[in-house]
Chains A and B, each alone.
Chain A
Amino acid sequence: MARFLPWHKRQPAPPEGVDAEMWAILRTRDGRSDPELVRAAAEIRARLQAQPPAEPDPEFRARLRANLMREARATGKSRVPPRRLALPFFTTLGIAGVAALAVVVASVVAFPLARGQVNVQAAVAGHHDIPVTQAIRISFNRPMDETAVTRGLRISPAVSYQASWPNSKTLVISPAHGLAPNVGYVVTIPQPDIKAQNGALAPTGLVIPFGTGSVPSTPQGQIPTVVSVTHVAVTSGVTSLSYMPDGALMVLSSSTPVAVPASAQSPSPSPSPTATPGQSAAPGLSFGTLYVLSPSLRTVAFKAEGAVASPDSQEIAYWTPGVAGTLELDVVAANGSGTPETLASSAESNPGLAWLDNGDLIFAAAGQLRKVSLDGAITTVDPTVNVDPSGFFTVSPSAQALFASPGGVPTIYSLPGGSANPLPNLVGGPAWAANGNDLAYVAATAGGEAIDLTSDLGTRITAVLSAPAGVRLSGLSFDPTGTYLTYVTTAPGQPSQLNAVDVQSKASGPVGTLTAVSNPVWAPSGNQLSALVAVSGTTTQDVSSLLLSGGPPPSPAGDPAAAAALATASDLAQFQVTAGPAAEADISALLAPGTSLAPSVLLPGRFDRFYAVSTTPTAPGSTSFSVALNLVRDATSSAGPAYLPETVTVQTAGTSPLISNIAPGTLTPVPTGPLVVSVAATTSSIGTTVFAIHFDSDLNPLTVGAQSISLSVGGQVVSGAQFNYSALTRTETVTMNGLPAGAVTLTVSPPLADIDNTLMQSAYQVVLQPQPVSAG
């Protein structure tokens, strides 16, 4: 039945060429319109509609269908490509092949552009100081056949990794336990596997050489110890404490922090009375003033919450109250200059905020995960994933996984479009490790609270530790390498304490003696962490920084003479690597009187890095030490990766350690298969000797043990050792009780193999004098 409207509500019919919806857009409420605008709309529509439709190439249509069906058949289950199979590509490629191909790559791998070819870029290529926690990102110029590319991917030395595709043109390789420090790597993909979805190929195989920087570490199984505590500032009403990537501390608080001068590290002064009151405009959020505490205290923003610093530490983004109960996402210069710029808004009560490596910010709005670039363009990360950020909500550092709480059930997702696994026991945390894979959280168990860890997006869950009954756990935070997890324990009626657990060995213990601690956060350097300490009898909080013990694995802790010998030999190697012949005067200054400098020591500056393999007394109780070094040339060199072993003898009896002999070995191609990069031996007061052997590769654990590692004293093989391999730190620990006195020969040999089952190429042997370890 037709409906009749009163005359004033009748709509004039749309003009010719304009449909009813367009007419509704173009006319004003009183039914009038701009005739030119209407004519323009009609013309645009007519011309575009008259445009002959773009017809796809039938071959392309059929090929794409075939590719889709192939993937549908192959990957009906997991969207994350599995760990690669052990194919012989890299092992048969050989060092010479790598060297020859390496000439092709420069600081950026870029194949020549041609229609139909695949163009590849990798930012890490040619760099020698890539952080060990960094994921390797490879970009292609066209959507790729992900299965083929992932199948051909190799990393040498072997690394256990997860390959993911944020989109079809970007491959992200996330090492499961980070990269090894101070190691040269090569990523390769053979040419036939660099295949686009439309069948285009790269002109040659891909070779990406790069090296990692050094990071301090603590021997596996030991909890870092506190060397010193610095009181950075005193404030109150702190809602957030975090480090910026450049190492500056950032705090959100309701009162202006007061910096504590070096001359007055205790007791704490009172905070400024000119406080900016904290505000709460949205449920669950508490707004404060944003301060950066170093290098000098500065105010950056007001009414801020959820602040995160950009990867280059130049900007800080945060949420601030907007109109009608919404939140506005503002960005401001980290140096406090300029005015904030609003990039986006969200009506979510807990919108989360993370800054991705590519400069985009990621957050939740309207039930979906959104990205916004600094130029204001907003996109939905994955329209297929809906989030309910009313509960726990956080995004991994690499935005590969999302943690949310839809319907009250904490759930971990892979992005984009991957698996979703519930973490039903989660009651607190959660904390991501820097590798973007490991997620630790507080779990409720029958006996109380525990810390659980998942490294594969919730598929498998590992128990890290259980708290005694009644003890609450909070403040989870990973160190930058993902080795340690700090946490706060609070027992009934007791002040809270700071603890750490080695997530691999499960060894745990207190960190320092501070009490009433909360919000521990690790510095990017990995040798420092900061936390809030409640000042007794006041409402103020002390921002305290704890300097932690650490050092390269071979550092002979507990023996100052050995440490001094190692430092002197390292100085020599540094001169050799960086300056070559120009360092003659510097090297001469390290030599003991009467020691001559052989010309062969003045290497021609052709090395990229060095590492110390072992430091051991030349005889039991001697003050003379033998330091074994490897000077390493990365695969970025046109001549290919190689290393030169060098033995340096250092006398430590005098006032300063001096070198009495330098014995360079022969330049040797870096072998395929695992390589020993450091060995340390210590003997405790009860007679237990521990050998820690670090490798450059992830090892096949089935090949590590008595069949590949042996100890002998005085030419006699000793038995009874216990073997324990840590995949997390690539370390084999050999424990031996009642080892006979004397020099110990340690031999590591095939069948030791890496995770690709590439055998160790030749046996490694070293003679060690186990160092007594000091108590504590």
Chain B
Amino acid sequence: MRLPPEHEERLIVRAQAEPEAFGELYDQYFPQIYRYVASRVRSADLAEDITSEVFFKALRAIGRYRPSGHPFSAWLYQIAVNTITDHYRSRKRAEDSLESGPELASEGVAVEDEVAARMGLDQIWQAIESLPEQQRTAMTLKYSADLPLAEIGRIMGKSEGAVKLLVFRGTATLRAALRPLPVEAETHHG
């Protein structure tokens, strides 16, 4: 999904000089950023709000963006991660009762199949939501957005090793939460 690096860089330089060119970057990266945000917040209304905020922040800061060899999307993900974190923290602090829109629904899937699939999915998302913030971010970027560890490290401001540890711990917690293992299985490995 990434643009060829040279083309992306040209596009960024253009967007810095003439902000309207930012529209092309928006067209390219809107779908994946929206999907990532939607996978984190699980509400269509909120996903729209946060995606708006991410792209407005990016537009206002594009003038100072400096290519670093990482894809432009890493920068957008970084802004998205911070915006989502800020949202949850402010909601927690202020007990802000933001209304929830309808849950995201997919199209073209039989209702009964979707219900069956969502039972497992909801369980996984519920378990992911209960993880500490850093683990939650690393898990969703790895499992859902399918980003490389190095890119996740760039987004989260952490080393690749630290991201590995977060994903390992998150996976272990999810395993325990989703499928409690029999005692002998717990003691199987050394």
Residue of A36, A72, A115, A368 touching B20 (CB-CB under 8 A) = A72
Contact of A385 among B23, B64, B75, B144 (CB under 8 A): B64
CB-based contact B188/A34 at 8 Å: yes
Task: Kindly list chain B residues whose C-beta atoms are within 8 Å of the C-beta of A384.
Answer: 57, 61, 64-65
Provided the pairs A141-B96, A377-B133 are in contact, do residues A36 and B57 lie with their beta carbons within 8 angstroms?
no
**Are B19 and A76 touching (Cβ within 8 A)?**
yes
Q: Is the CB of A56 within 8 A of B23?
A: no
User: Which residues in A have their C-beta under 8 angstroms from that of B164?
Assistant: 24-25
Q: CB distance A35 to B53 under 8 Å?
A: no
Cα(A115)–Cα(B175), bound, Å: 36
Least CB distance from B151 to A in Å reads 11
Instruction: Point out the residues of chain A lying under 8 angstroms from B64, CB to CB.
Output: 384-385, 417, 420
Judge whether B35 and A54 touch: CB under 8 Å. Answer: yes
Among A57-65, A263-271, A632-640, which stretch is in contact with chain B? A57-65
Whole-angstrom CA separation of A47 from B94 in the bound complex: 34
B98 at the interface (CB under 8 A from A): yes
Kindly count the residue-residue contacts between A and B in the assembled complex, taking CB atoms under 8 Å apart. Answer: 192
Q: Which residues of B contact A493 (CB under 8 A)?
A: none
* Interface contact A417-B57, CB-CB below 8 Å: yes
Inter-chain contact B56/A168, CB cutoff 8 Å: yes
A36 touches B175 (CB 8 A): yes
Nearest to A384 among chain B residues (CB) is: B61
Q: Does A663 contact B (CB under 8 A)?
A: no
- Report chain B residues within 8 Å CB of A76: 19
Given known A44-B171, A141-B96, A377-B89, contact A54–B57 (CB-CB < 8 A): no
On whether the beta carbons of A65 and B23 are closer than 8 Å, the reply is yes
- Please tell me if the beta carbons of B20 and A56 are within 8 angstroms of each other in the complex: no
* Smallest Cβ-Cβ distance to A114: which chain B residue: B99
**Do A64 and B171 contact each other (CB < 8 Å), given the known contacts A47-B121, A47-B124, A377-B89?**
no
Within 8 A of A (CB), among B18-62: 19-20, 22-23, 26-27, 30-31, 34-35, 38-39, 44-45, 47-53, 55-57, 59-61
Contact present for B38 and A21 (CB under 8 Å):
no
Please give the distance in Å from B99's CB to the nearest CB on chain A: 5
> Does A416 sit within 8 A of B, measured CB to CB?
yes
A342 part of interface (Cβ distance < 8 Å):
no
Are A69 and B133 closer than 8 Å at their CB atoms? no
Verify if B79 is at the interface (C-beta below 8 Å from A): yes
CB-based contact A68/B55 at 8 Å? yes
B146 to chain A, nearest CB (A): 7
Is residue A571 contacting chain B, with contact meaning CB distance below 8 A?
no
Determine if A383 and B79 form an interchain contact, defined as CB atoms under 8 angstroms apart. yes
Whether B111 sits at the interface, judged by CB under 8 Å, is no
Q: Chain B at the A interface: mostly helix, strand, loop or mixed?
A: helix
Q: Would you call B143 and A45 a contact (CB within 8 A)?
A: yes
For residue B5, CB closer than 8 A to chain A, the reply is no
Nearest CB of chain B from residue A15's CB, rounded to whole Å: 14
Q: Is B67 engaged at the interface, CB distance under 8 Å to the other chain?
A: no
A71 lies within 8 A of chain B by Cβ? yes
Cβ-defined contact, A380 with B157, below 8 A = yes
Indicate whether A383 sits within 8 Å of B35 (C-beta atoms), given known contacts A44-B124, A64-B51. no
A53-B167 contact given A143-B52, A197-B52, CB 8 Å threshold: no
B175 in contact with A37 (CB, 8 Å): yes
Is the C-beta of B7 less than 8 angstroms from some C-beta in chain A?
A: no
Any chain B CB within 8 A of the CB of A167? yes
Q: Which residue of A lies closest to B65 (CB)?
A: A384
Is A1 positioned at the interface, with any CB of B under 8 Å from its CB? Answer: no
Q: From the candidates B49, B86, B98, B107, name the one contacting A379 in the complex (CB within 8 A).
A: B86
**Residue interface bits B141-171, CB-to-A below 8 A is 1, else 0:** 0111010110000000100000010011001
Residues of A with C-beta under 8 A to B38: 54, 56
- Give the CA-CA distance A54 to B172 in the complex, in Å: 27
Q: Does B3 contact A (CB under 8 A)?
A: no
Q: Could you tell me if A60 and B48 are in contact, using CB atoms closer than 8 angstroms?
A: yes
Give every chain B residue within 8 A of A169 (Cβ-Cβ): 53, 90
Neighbour of A32 across the interface among B30, B133, B175, B189, CB < 8 A: B189
Interface string of A184-220 (1 = CB under 8 A from B): 0000000000001110000000000000000000000
Which chain B positions have C-beta within 8 A of A139? 94
Instruction: Check if B10 is an interface residue, CB within 8 A of chain A.
Output: no
Tell me whether B34 and A54 are in contact (CB under 8 A).
Answer: yes
B183 at the interface (CB under 8 A from A): no
Confirm or deny: A226 has a beta carbon within 8 angstroms of a beta carbon on chain B.
Answer: no
Contact B143 A417 (CB under 8 A): no
A167 x B86 contact (CB < 8 A): yes
Measured between alpha carbons, how far is A198 from B174 in the docked complex, in Å? 35
Contacts of A60 in B (CB 8 A): 48
A40/B99 in contact, CB under 8 A: no
Question: A366 near B97 (CB under 8 angstroms)?
Answer: no
Verify A72–B99 contact, CB threshold 8 A: no
A113 at the interface (CB under 8 A from B): yes
User: CB-nearest residue of chain B relative to A416?
Assistant: B57
Interface centre among B47, B49, B97, B109 (most CB of A within 10 A): B49
Cβ–Cβ < 8 Å partners of A50 in chain B: 117
Say whether B104 contacts A68, CB under 8 Å: no
Beta-carbon contact of B99 and A73 below 8 Å: no
A51 within 8 A of B: yes
Residue from A33, A73, A116, A420 within 8 A of B19 (CB atoms): A73
Q: Is A84 an interface residue (CB 8 A)?
A: no
Most buried by A among B60, B75, B172: B60
Taken together as a complex, chains A and B put the C-alpha atoms of A383 and B155 apart, in Å, by 10
CB pair A198–B181 under 8 Å, yes or no, is no
Known contacts: A65-B23, A73-B20, A198-B48. The answer to whether A41 contacts B171 by CB under 8 A is yes
Instruction: Tell me if A49 and B146 are in contact (CB < 8 A).
Output: yes
A79 at interface, CB cutoff 8 A: yes
> A54 and B56 in contact (CB under 8 A), knowing A40-B171, A47-B120, A198-B49?
no
Residues of chain A with a CB closer than 8 A to B144's CB = 48-49, 51
Q: Say whether A22 faces chain B, with CB atoms less than 8 Å apart.
A: yes
B178 at the interface (CB under 8 A from A): yes
CB-nearest residue of chain A relative to B189?
Answer: A34
Which residues of B are found within 8 Å of A383, using beta-carbon distances? 75, 78-79, 82
A96-120, CB < 8 A from B = 113-116, 119
| A22, B164: Cα distance in complex, Å | 8
Q: Which residues of A contact B49 (CB under 8 A)?
A: 142-143, 196-198
Determine whether the beta carbon of A40 is less than 8 Å from that of B53.
Answer: no
Cβ contact within 8 Å between B89 and A373 = yes
Q: Is A16 an interface residue (CB 8 A)?
A: no
- Does B39 lie within 8 Å of A54, measured CB to CB? yes
Interchain nearest-CB distance for A66 vs B (Å)? 9
User: Are B106 and A417 in touch, CB under 8 angstroms?
Assistant: no
Q: A113 to chain B: closest CB distance in Å?
A: 6
Cβ contacts under 8 Å, A79 to chain B: 60
Q: Choose from A41, A143, A368 the contact partner of B56 (Cβ within 8 Å).
A: A143
A-B residue pairs, 4 tightest by C-beta = A52-B106, A384-B61, A72-B19, A54-B38
Q: List 26 A-B contacts (CB under 8 A).
A: A21-B142, A25-B167, A33-B189, A35-B189, A47-B120, A48-B143, A54-B34, A54-B39, A57-B44, A65-B27, A68-B22, A69-B22, A72-B22, A142-B98, A143-B49, A143-B53, A168-B56, A197-B49, A198-B48, A198-B52, A366-B157, A383-B78, A383-B79, A384-B65, A417-B61, A420-B64
Q: Which residues of B come within 8 Å of A, CB atoms? A: 19-20, 22-23, 26-27, 30-31, 34-35, 38-39, 44-45, 47-53, 55-57, 59-61, 64-65, 75, 78-79, 82-83, 85-86, 89-90, 93-94, 96-99, 101, 104, 106-109, 117, 120-121, 124, 133, 142-144, 146, 148-149, 157, 164, 167-168, 171-172, 174-175, 178-179, 181, 185, 188-190
Q: Beyond A47-B117, A167-B86: 18 further Cβ-contacts under 8 Å?
A: A25-B164, A33-B189, A36-B188, A40-B174, A48-B121, A51-B144, A54-B104, A55-B106, A56-B31, A64-B48, A69-B23, A71-B59, A113-B97, A116-B45, A196-B49, A198-B52, A377-B85, A377-B89
A residues contacting B by CB (< 8 A) are 21-22, 24-26, 32-37, 40-41, 43-45, 47-57, 60-61, 64-65, 67-69, 71-73, 76, 79, 113-116, 119, 121, 139, 141-143, 167-169, 196-198, 358-359, 366, 368, 373, 377, 379-380, 382-385, 416-418, 420
